[in-house]
Structure 1
Amino acid sequence: MHDTTREVRLAAALVEAADTLADGFDTDDYLRRVSDNCVDLLAARAAGIMLIDHRGRAVSLTASSHGADVALDLLEAQHGGGPCLDSYGSGRPVPPVSIRVAHADSRWPDFTERALRHDVASTFAVPLRRRGTLYGALNVFVPTLPPLSESELLVAQALADAAAVGLQNHRAYSQYRTLSGQLQEALSSRVRIEQAKGMLAERWNTTADQAFVALRQFARRQQLPLDRVASAVVERVLDSTQLRQNDD
């Protein structure tokens, strides 16, 4: 039995939003899929996500596949103010607003002027937030006038919250991957240096400490990383006699 209710589709969208722990993760594609799910679940004209930095400046604009031109134009029109910036600034949803009423009240003039040209009747926005951290806002563009039911706003907020969690998790994942790579490289470098010390100490019939001094002095005089010199010794690219010739 195929259950196509909105509850099931919302559950699927939330699961999809959680899937960010991957090396091939693409932020724009991810936010586009979140916007697409928003359009599908809310029967909207278009939707888009604006990521905003701590200074309140837009750093990324992503539109839904459906109505992409409309969404991008309306996101770009918010440089002087709009639902996304208001929602981000307050950390709270901007409830559904009639575009004509907002235009008559001179609220977001550039944004509302463009929205009227696109035949958008109303709009609302919800913040992308996670435990006090704000990433931006999700803006929904609707072809009908308000009021929408409270559940519509809750659905949009659920998608936005899931997107914020997904973004936060991926950033943490990327940081851990980077740190892991750095630690692995540091460990590999240490192993190569120890191997080089051992090889030189055996060849020269000396101590490992004396071999290390020779490695370090050669690296300094040649202005080379110590790990690179050690690798050359291990791979037998560097003649060990060269190190002794430069050893004080």
Structure 2
Amino acid sequence: MDKDLLKQLTLWHNKNQHDKIINKIMEIPEADKDYDLVCLLARALNNQENYKEAIKYFLSVQKQGQHDPLWHFRLGYAYYYLKQYKEAIATFEQVVALDPEDAHGRRFLEMSRNAAGRAGNEMVHIASVEQDEGLLEANEEINPFGLVSHNNGSISMILGVGEYKHEIFQTRSQEGFEGNGYDWGSLAAVFLKERMPHLVHIVRFDPEADMFAAYSDDREAILSFATAFKGACEDDFLIKDLFSRAELD
């Protein structure tokens, strides 16, 4: 893929200008759309909640994507939001099988299994994922955030951004805040600095456009942070006050 084109597509993605991505890639002749371009087109369709169309494009490059955990993740993401949980489970299990350290994949696998259970769907297991029983109770307490343990001993706190507390970020939309993963990271950084300064160098952040993620090698630290941050999010006065000092990434 042309480097200048990739740079432009990335810029539009970070600004949530997914319609521009779709229009640009659709202008390119089919013969010139390589695997990466098709995947970026499908990702943009995902971000516009056009999941059925996204799946069509993902499956058009299935052969190239079968060993790519990111391809499986984005396909599973579309299945999940279409409430096709059996397909989502199978796909996210492939993500974890290909990349056991993929915290986002593990979190969405757990979410898909839980959703399938609530819907009464029969679940399909392709690859096993060890469940940290100690985190299950905590996950109930901090929902819609989730905690995922990793083989190296670290634990991640993850949130698929979008609906939760979106109104908070809208109060500063004129400044460029959109409620994406980076905005959540900025808010969490203020909370950590002001409310839990003893954990500033222990809990770290690794957000993406559509996902907020915090992680730590210290189990008790991340559990403490997760519980306290969720509590702050449920206190409208407090979270608005903290957000007033967040800096746009």
TM range (shorter): under 0.3
Higher strand share: 1
- Report the structure number with the largest CA radius of gyration: 1
Question: TM-score w.r.t. structure 2 length?
Answer: 0.27
The structure with higher relative contact order (CA 8 Å, sep 6+) is 1
Question: TM-score w.r.t. structure 1 length?
Answer: 0.27
